[in-house]
Amino acid sequence: MRTCFIFMGSAGSAQQRAVKLAGMVLLLLVSLVSQAFLPEPARALTPVDSNKTYIVGGDYYYPPYEYLDEEGNPAGYNVELTRAIAEVMGLNIEIRLGNWSEMRTALEKGEVDVLPGTVFTEERQSVFDFVPHALIHQSIFYRKGSPSAKSVDDLVGFEAIVQEAGSMHDNLVKHGGITVILTDTHANALRLLASGKHDYAVVANLPGLYLGRKHRLSNIVTSGKTAVSFKYCYAVKKGNAELQARLNEGLSILKNTGRYQEIYDKWLGVLEPRTPSWTRIVKISMVVVVPLVLMMGAILMWNRTLKREVANRTRELHLQQQQLIQADKMASLGILVSGVAHEINNPNSLVLLNTPVIMDSFEDLWPILEGYYEQHGDFLVGGLEYTRMREEIPHMLSEMQAGGKRIKHIVEDLKDFSRIDNSRQMEVMDLNEVVRAAARLVDNSIKKATHCFSVSCSDSLCKVRGNPQRIEQVVVNLILNACQALSAPDQCIALKTFNSPDRKGVVLEVRDEGTGIDPDHLPHLTDPFFTTKRDTGGTGLGLSVSTTIVNEHGGVLDFVSEPGEGTTASLRLPMFRRTRP
């Protein structure tokens, strides 16, 4: 900046001259300050020397990053990336791969210009300048059967093998408490571990996996956890800003043109999956994840449907199995009852046959006994006075005849109830007769449960078509359930038959004044094995079997109940209608 000083003439007052002098001083100060804060001219990089050859060092056995192939030529990710940078930047390079420790020392002495496979650490920053180009993960390997180690802290008190002068060499020494065993290559570290020497080997993850597979070291594994992650960099000697800038610029060009990614994918992409971009994630989701989610959703729905179907079939099988068991029991009972009925009916037939004869004989003896009484006075008959026995004997004979008939009726009802009708033959039947037969069959249970039992059968009840034996089984179950619901003998049970108001069905109502049913239990009354009386021997099959029978007849079985107020069971069967020829 150029500064001009203008001197004025002597004209004007002293005050004006003072103001002008102050202005010139101010201009001078502004000029000095401006020059102090002006940036220095940018220092231009030294032009590339086309005759100079840069020596690139590296590890001769560190695949897939850098190594000598079978023909002794440098290969790997670091080698190809460095050659690409040299190509776009017009650099002459010579790649020398050897012992890593020696290569690191050569860089420090200036015998090597750059190491492309150097891990960044705070300690190394005082010796080298870096250009990062990837991330490298260090993993802990151990023999199968040995305790796994997931972090460096787990190595304390053990022997750990590391590559000499490598990043983990510095790291483990700095950590302390670990016996560090040095070797020249990652391969030798893994071989030592596989041979049974020392406890762990800490090497880079990808080289460790690669070398383990190549040399078939099948007895060593890794926990799959990353012990430490580092920036993987180009390292130049401290102060070599020109070469650092060339490497950084060349790396930027490769990344912008996509060539860097090609090299990365070629050598590392298969072994070390990289984090995809959001765009790639969305694309993958649309192509793979979304259809997979839909398919999984369909599978879950199908699986749920299948489970419901299996559950339904299982319940049906259980029911059928119980019905078969019940049928087998009833068949056995039928055979037993048939034999017992024969044995009971034979002597009972004598009672029914001989009782009328005895009654007729007593009537014939009546005048003779009366004449004897008039002549000789009262006398004993069967240990009692004749005057008493002549009143009791006719009643006794009548009761004996009625009892014999009742025995015969009960035996016949029992035989009908226990008989298995495999044909399930339907016939036109009177529901009133079935209800009366069922009541007689369980008369003993009714008398034990209540002193208040009534049956009201409609005289105009329409006929129904069905199997009397199976409908009787339903009615018996309903009556027994009503008896079991009572808590005191003064509570009543009432049976009632009538035609439905729509004249399409016949209804039987079994109403009890018992304890009632919990509303939560009502929907499950007909479920197989559901019972609230398991402690008293209930199996939960009576109403389930009854529902099956009613459904076979095209009927409906309903329950209405209020806790503490009793229950009403309604059996509705379709009315029989004759079809015109």
In angstroms, the CA 581 to CA 578 distance is 9
pLDDT of residue 376: 87
Assign 273 a pLDDT band (cuts: 50, 70, 90). very low
pLDDT of 148 > 70? The answer is yes
Rounded alpha-carbon distances, angstroms, from residue 112 to 46, 48, 115, 123, 243: 19, 18, 8, 20, 12
pLDDT of 418 > 60? The answer is no
pLDDT tens for residues 157-214? 999 999 998 888 988 998 899 999 999 998 999 999 999 999 999 998 888 888 888 8
pLDDT of 290 > 80? The answer is no
How would you label 434-468 residue by residue, b for 16+ Cβ within 10 Å and e otherwise?
A: bbbbbbebbeeebeebbeebeeebeeebbebebbb
pLDDT of 340 > 80? The answer is no
pLDDT of 464 > 70? The answer is yes
pLDDT of 339 > 80? The answer is no
Q: What is the mean pLDDT of residues 20-30?
A: 50
pLDDT of residue 2: 38
pLDDT of residue 286: 72
Residue 174, judged by CB atoms within 10 A of its CB (0-12, 13-18, 19+), counts as exposed
Q: What is the mean pLDDT of residues 536-552?
A: 73
Q: What is the mean pLDDT of residues 532-537?
A: 57
Answer yes or no: pTM beyond 0.85.
no
Q: What are phi and psi of 251, to 5 degrees?
A: -65, -40
Q: What is the average pLDDT value for the chain, to the nearest integer?
A: 82
pLDDT of residue 543: 80
Q: Six-digit token pair at 442?
A: 């369980």
413 contact partners, CB below 8 Å, separation of at least 6: 437, 440, 441
In angstroms, the CA 568 to CA 264 distance is 82
pLDDT of residue 463: 92
Q: What is the mean pLDDT of residues 306-313?
A: 87
pLDDT of 15 > 60? The answer is no
In angstroms, the CA 544 to CA 204 distance is 70
Q: What kind and span of H or E run contains 10?
A: none
Task: Specify the pairing of strand 200-204 against strand 159-163.
Answer: parallel
pLDDT of residue 3: 39
CA 407 remoteness from chain centre: 61
Q: What is the mean pLDDT of residues 9-17?
A: 47
What does the radius of gyration of the chain's CA atoms come to, in whole angstroms?
55
In angstroms, the CA 127 to CA 109 distance is 11
pLDDT of residue 510: 95
pLDDT of 511 > 70? The answer is yes
pLDDT of 323 > 80? The answer is no
Assign 1 a pLDDT band (cuts: 50, 70, 90). very low
Q: What is the mean pLDDT of residues 442-456?
A: 91
Judge whether 69 and 75 are in contact, CB under 8 Å: yes
Lowest mean pLDDT among 334-343, 372-381, 510-519, 529-538: 529-538
Residue type, 77: Y
pLDDT of 69 > 60? The answer is yes
pLDDT: is 386 or 140 the higher one?
140
Contacts of 536-541 with CB under 8 Å at 24 or more apart are 536/484, 541/322, 541/326
pLDDT of residue 289: 74
